[in-house]
Structure 1
Amino acid sequence: MFSEQKTVAFHTLGCKLNFSETSTIARNLLDNGYQRVEFNQPSDVYVINTCSVTANADKECRTIVKNAMKANPNGFVVVVGCYAQLKPQEIAEMEGVDLVLGATEKFNIVEYLDDLNKQEDTIIHSCEIEDADFYVGSYSIGDRTRAFLKVQDGCDYKCTYCTIPLARGISRSDTMENVIKNAREIAEKGIKEIVLTGVNIGDYGKGEFGNKKHEHTFLELVQELDKVENIERIRISSIEPNLLRNEIIEFVSNSDRFVPHFHIPLQSGSDVILKKMKRRYLTKLYQDRIGKIREVMPNACIGVDVIVGFPGETDELFLETYNFLNSLPISYLHVFTYSERDNTEAIEFDGVVPHHVRKERNKMLRILSEKKRLAFYQTQLGSTHKVLWESDQKNGKIHGFTENYVKVETEFSEELINQTEIVDLVMISPDGNVQVAKKPVLAF
């Protein structure tokens, strides 16, 4: 007798790492007979992969659950991810949620989907985070242009504002062999760019089960990935400044595959605040890292994470951060407003910054970020770059990124999608992207 195929829809909140893990969970379900549909469509199962970096991410989860219920009031709603590990009971109280899976169970989702009837009481399968001592490799192939390749999970750092170690456990890594195997699989699918991702990727090499010995270093991983054929670009996502060794910077500067683009968390430009945050560097080391990159890769794009409104951040200390960032030859900022998180040290700190002040400081740094981005783009005008065109279309334009992460645009053409092309950067358009003049030959 014909049995209708069950459907599943996914929604991912948060970081590139979450996207890579959602893709792995999706492939698992598809291999077990499910058909994937869009999240706004009626589906038998809705899987929501959550983030919990800020309080806003928690609120966002509630909204997504409601959206699932609108699409299909009888849909079976599963919540996984960092928020699910940290506060499973809070999620269980949300109307419409049927199943909550913690850090150790999210990759076993198939085992929990025997009965897809709506549950009167939400089922929770959580764990003590100490049990999350094994590694599951992941990569996303959500679009045809790039893939997020997970190489590491968890974190051993004790930053006073951060819940990630509580949500993801100890630092542990994939084997070198498996990372290379996944990279080759990605290449076979015709994807041209890999973005390396993890919680603390510079700490790559620590094994499973709490083994703190590094089997390999991040530099060794980079060197091996550089040999994988048929991948045109490899991009390093966020990496801690104390772990971004000069040897890594020098290797990237001479690589044909690793691109001149770094994203390096700073969090504060005040040494006083950095110490309160228990970061593992001070501003002098950060400044030296930026200087080294600019020395060997003058056209590199450098992104920075920064947090405003941390407890004890006075007006003077915030201005230290602002002036420090303003003085650095960086390309853009990701600005986060500090939010109190349960079970962190910082929640007990004195010197709480009023919310309206946090908001004002965030706005100041976002304006600075736009100035930095514009200044960086202007330095690139008149130069020739290779752009990888993406699949999106907006106002008749197709967009892509140069190897050094300048966002460019040209007239849309289906044939350009997932192709690399040599272009001249001509002028900055009103929406902030760079317009290009094409060279006559496509570089495949």
Structure 2
Amino acid sequence: MQGAKTVAFHTLGCKLNFSETSSLSRLMEQEGFEKKEFTDVADVYVINTCSVTDNADKECRQLVRRIQRKAPESMVIITGCYAQLKPKEIAAIPGVDLVLGAAEKFNIAKHIKEISKNDATRICSCDIETVTGFHSSYSVNDRTRTFLKVQDGCDYNCSFCTIPMARGKSRSALINSVIKDAETLAASGAKEVVLTGINLGDFGKGPDGNAPAAINGRTENFYALIQELEQVAGIERYRISSIEPNLLTNEIIEFVANSKKFMPHFHIPLQSGSNTILGAMRRRYKRELYADRVGVIKTLMPHCCIGVDVIVGFPGESDEHFEETYHFLHQLDVSYFHVFTYSERANTHALNLQPVVPAAVRHERNKILRNLSYMKMQYFENQHAGTTRNVLFENHNKKGMMEGYTDNYIRITTPYRAEWENQIVKWKL
């Protein structure tokens, strides 16, 4: 491609995708491209996709159509999980010029130089089994909270999930590399770093997917990582984006409870409160272990915010199974839920399970749990009324207002004050 000078990015999906998009943006800027907003006209548009739900697939298609109407001569590149899983399907979307799979996304600049708008759509994908190596990524200057990718891929085989097929086997950065990234972020002025990964608690397998020998006498695992990050000067806050309950050990919880920098906030996937459904999902724990983890956290940190991922409408989920989930969550001392409606994904074991839950029932169950989540968060916030907590305010003026989060993840909205941007302020709730 000749003469392209501007590029715009759009990210679908998780915090990990945001960190990777930011790194792709920096790669392109190093190649001489000027970054534009996605709503602007640009020479190249890059969509970093997710494929956890059908909505992400549909949104990708809608974005391509929007670009076609606005800038029909611009180059359109699709990467991310959807691109790895269904490259031919994406290549058939009118207007798409280049599809980059998991192994090629960080070679984006090279591929752009090799194509032109009138070429046939090029697919640069590969067998996910051949994807190795870890690419460090972090977001910077995008928001007050910076996402730092420390782990990628997953060796688990949950029956509903396509992520191992899209991301490959579990692998992670070495601790020394993560520390260097954290120091870079501290120098950029970042106050809060969110540690992200596909299976964050599995950190320690090394860039090649194998556990490295002890380095300087130190075992590489998630507990060792957070101990080292605590020592990085300049970073005032860390959050753990999401961690599997079976990998959330007592020593990790105790460390966070005594830490000056790791915030009292956990996000722990549950997926179902029914042991029968957890078994069908091929999850690696039962609800009793989940309740135990929550109990340990709340004993050590009564003020801790706990978020939960839950899936409704999984094949075989009867009314009784759903009621088990509802009552389990109702009595559990957690703060909010991310509720996902189960959607069929190609090449997953769950496609073979019966009976299928009707779509209308799935959506009704989603609504019921979202209402419960709202009540949980209201209760959690009311518990802290009258207390004083530290709030980190973000760098955004939203129609005269600004937002920030307490250490335990209560959102605060207040009239905008420029001197509070990216600052930690003591706040009476």
Q: Using the alignment, how far apart are the partners of 1:230 and 1:213 within structure 2? A: 29
Provide the aligned C-alpha RMSD in A.
Answer: 1.3
Q: Which SS does the other structure have where 1:74 is aligned? A: coil
**8 Å CA contact 1:88, 1:126 repeated in 2:** yes
Q: Which residue of 1 aligns with 2:43?
A: 44
Q: Which SS does the other structure have where 1:166 is aligned? A: helix
Off by >3 Å, runs of 4+ in structure 1: 212-215
**8 Å CA contact 1:44, 1:116 repeated in 2:** no
Q: Which residue of 2 aligns with 1:441?
A: none
Decide which of 410, 421, 431 is 2:414's aligned counterpart: 410
**8 Å CA contact 2:172, 2:209 repeated in 1:** no
Offset of residue 348 of structure 1: 1.0
Greater displacement, 397-406 / 142-151: 142-151
Number of paired residues?
423
Pair 1:330 & 2:330 matched:
no
Offset of residue 295 of structure 1: 0.3
Offset of residue 146 of structure 1: 1.6
Q: Which SS does the other structure have where 2:329 is aligned? A: helix
Deviations 1:253-289 (A, max 9, x none): 0000000000000000000000000000000000000
> In the TM superposition, what are the counterparts of 1:108-123 in structure 2 within 5 Å?
108-115=107-114, 117-123=116-122
> In the TM superposition, what are the counterparts of 1:155-234 in structure 2 within 5 Å?
155-212=154-211, 216-234=220-238
TM-score (norm 2): 0.97
Decide which of 383, 388, 410 is 2:387's aligned counterpart: 383
Q: Using the alignment, how far apart are the partners of 1:39 and 1:92 within structure 2? A: 21
Q: Which residue of 2 aligns with 1:429?
A: none
Offset of residue 144 of structure 1: 4.5
Q: Using the alignment, how far apart are the partners of 1:153 and 1:334 within structure 2? A: 21
Q: Using the alignment, how far apart are the partners of 1:361 and 1:77 within structure 2? A: 38
Pair 1:130 & 2:134 matched:
no
Offset of residue 72 of structure 1: 1.1
Q: Using the alignment, how far apart are the partners of 2:200 and 2:402 within structure 1? A: 31
Greater displacement, 383-392 / 189-198: 383-392
> In the TM superposition, what are the counterparts of 1:266-285 in structure 2 within 5 Å?
266-285=270-289
Decide which of 251, 254, 258 is 2:258's aligned counterpart: 254
**8 Å CA contact 1:144, 1:418 repeated in 2:** no
Deviations 1:310-335 (A, max 9, x none): 00000000000000000101100000
Q: Which residue of 2 aligns with 1:71?
A: 70
Greater displacement, 210-219 / 50-59: 210-219
> In the TM superposition, what are the counterparts of 1:10-159 in structure 2 within 5 Å?
10-115=9-114, 117-159=116-158
Q: Using the alignment, how far apart are the partners of 2:30 and 2:105 within structure 1? A: 16
Q: Which residue of 2 aligns with 1:428?
A: none
Q: Using the alignment, how far apart are the partners of 2:422 and 2:246 within structure 1? A: 35
Q: Using the alignment, how far apart are the partners of 2:150 and 2:209 within structure 1? A: 16
Q: Using the alignment, how far apart are the partners of 2:207 and 2:420 within structure 1? A: 42
Q: Which residue of 2 aligns with 1:365?
A: 369
Q: Which residue of 2 aligns with 1:440?
A: none
Offset of residue 142 of structure 1: 4.2
Q: Using the alignment, how far apart are the partners of 2:265 and 2:248 within structure 1? A: 13
Q: Which SS does the other structure have where 1:113 is aligned? A: helix
Q: Using the alignment, how far apart are the partners of 1:379 and 1:114 within structure 2? A: 56
Offset of residue 208 of structure 1: 3.2
